[in-house]
Structure 1
Amino acid sequence: MTVTAGLGPIDTVDDGRGPLARTLDRVGAVPAIEVRHGLPDTGEQWIGCAEVLGDPAVFDRWRKRLADWLSERHKGQIPERTTSGYIMSWYLQVPGFLAGLLFHTARRVPSLRPRDIAFRLSGDRPHPDGIALLSDEFACLPDDPESHRPEATTVADDRALAALLRARYTAHAAKFVTAFGPGTRFGRRTLWAAATDALDSAGWLAGRSCGDEGAGVADSALLLPTAEEPLTSASTLRAITGENATVWTRRRESCCFHFALPDQPACTTCPRLTEDERAVRALSR
């Protein structure tokens, strides 16, 4: 029976809900974000990824809301490149983290089609604080206890499963690049660099959220073993060892332009930092 990272055997009790729903019931309560199967029966506002990508004006309204929120806190003019950089990263983390979490915890890859994913924005800082998977379809390994189900597709091994995840994620990211790009000053390379960042972070953040950062880093290496176009690099995660600790960090391919806000430093993963500066920052956290 398949054993997931630090979570014990996958639950195969059929309670009328599908395998992905039961998996997300177990692992979806990770820090800072809710990941669930299906939409709740409440008055919460959820946004379908297909809706956003089909109407780029949604991005304009999202940028305006973020600019207002940042302006209240930083008391100054908020650069368009900062709001665009934040939203570029936030959106791509929706399919990226969803896929990374299921890959890390259950070696399952869900559908990543825009019509099969929705997200919820926080009522304060307008970032995604909830992700909903709306499909029961998944790919898995031959030893998955649910591999016999009609919604399951099996692949040979971890590398094949990671390649399928990468292909599904890249297809979603391509739709994002087409929808989001014309409304910003970012070029195609920057947009695909951000897509690469979100995928590289997916396994790492899933592992960290579930208590096994090292296993998450290994997952990111599986997901991005090389720079495969249109993605812009292999995984940039690396260990930094200080006198009393070893920590993981990475160099971003893209930039969120946080440093362009009044009196704000560059992020630890910012490509503008030297590797020595990054090491000092990472070890001081």
Structure 2
Amino acid sequence: MARVSARQQRVELHTDLSGTGEWLLCDALLADPARFGPWHKRLAEWLHHEYGQGPGRTAAGYVMTWYLRVPAYAAALLLHHERRVPSLRPADLAFRLGGQRPDPDGIALLGADFHCLPSDPGAALPEATVVPDERALAAVLRAGYAAHATRFVAAYTTVTRLGRRTLWAAATDALDTALWWAGLECGDEHGGVADAALVLGTRHPPFTSASTLRPAPEGGWRRSRESCCFSYLLPGRPECGGCPRLRAKE
């Protein structure tokens, strides 16, 4: 776990809730969606401090994006670096909010179970479930993430005005982006793109699209977003690159 975390800049991976910071249990949040309230409030205050306004829809959009990134990025990191898929059940995941901007800067994998390939050094461990090949591993990742996202969608629609289509579009974006970033941030962007193609090579409902990653004219890769994070509601902020609002205008 330390080896994987050391290769990334965006988030630390843990196997417990030790250290400083505020840890939030995914299962507790989804079981009682009112618990999202303090996170929304803290984020709105941060937005107001940074931009002079803290629109509720923008706060809800940021929390949507940041929460879904937790199971997506945990899965992407272990797939890219270890060819493993950890348990993505809400009971087996927690995250820590950053000290200034309240986005997740730490993820805790609390479950011991994982899926792996036959060649994995830990394949004989009792907590390992061996699958025959990488396609099967990708299917396990997709199913585990979709199950977690299903609970999130059901919970989040009770405390925000964001619809199911928006939330599933955000879940698709989070997974596609996390797979890309897991490679990009350790100097293996093409590997991350290949992982996204492996997991999201075609559209798998309820995800709203296949991977949208494509070569960028200036080099590297870019992707088109399926969802909007509502940053454009902030003073002086245009739509993000690849935002579906830009495509609608075109």
TM-score, reference length from structure 2: 0.96
For the pair shown, the structure with the greater C-alpha radius of gyration is 1
Residue identity in the other structure for 2:228:
C
Offset at 1:44? 3.2
Contact 2:11 2:107 survives alignment (8 Å): yes
Offset at 1:269? 2.8
Partner of 1:83: 59
What is the rounded CA distance, in whole Å, between the counterparts of 1:28 and 1:109 in structure 2? 15
Which secondary structure does the structure 2 equivalent of 1:241 belong to?
Answer: coil
Partner of 2:135: 159
Residue identity in the other structure for 1:90:
W
- Alignment length (residue pairs): 248
Partner of 1:61: 38
Partner of 2:205: 229
Offset at 1:74? 1.1
Match of 2:177 among 180, 201, 207: 201
Partner of 1:259: 232
Partner of 2:186: 210
What is the rounded CA distance, in whole Å, between the counterparts of 1:37 and 1:107 in structure 2? 18
Offset at 1:207? 0.2
Residue identity in the other structure for 2:5:
G
Offset at 1:73? 1.4
Partner of 1:37: 15
Offset at 1:247? 2.0
What is the rounded CA distance, in whole Å, between the counterparts of 1:149 and 1:270 in structure 2? 44
Offset at 1:222? 0.8
Residue identity in the other structure for 1:48:
L
Which secondary structure does the structure 2 equivalent of 1:70 belong to?
Answer: helix
Offset at 1:43? 4.7
Match of 1:132 among 108, 133, 138: 108
TM-score, reference length from structure 1: 0.84
The superposition leaves residues 2-49 of structure 1 with CA deviations (integer Å, 9 ceiling, x where unpaired) of: xxxxxxxxxxxxxxxxxxxxxx11111311311122222x45321110
The superposition leaves residues 157-210 of structure 1 with CA deviations (integer Å, 9 ceiling, x where unpaired) of: 111100110000000000000111121111111111111111111210100112
Contact 2:21 2:98 survives alignment (8 Å): no
Partner of 1:144: 120
The runs of at least 4 consecutive aligned structure 1 residues that moved more than 3 Å come to none
Match of 2:2 among 21, 25, 45: 25
What is the rounded CA distance, in whole Å, between the counterparts of 2:169 and 2:108 in structure 1? 25
Residue identity in the other structure for 1:51:
A
Q: Which blocks of at least 5 consecutive residues in structure 1 are unaligned?
A: 1-23, 278-285
Aligned-pair identity (%)? 57
What is the rounded CA distance, in whole Å, between the counterparts of 1:44 and 1:72 in structure 2? 21
Residue identity in the other structure for 1:62:
W
Q: Which blocks of at least 5 consecutive residues in structure 2 are unaligned?
A: none
Residue identity in the other structure for 1:35:
L
What is the rounded CA distance, in whole Å, between the counterparts of 2:142 and 2:36 in structure 1? 25
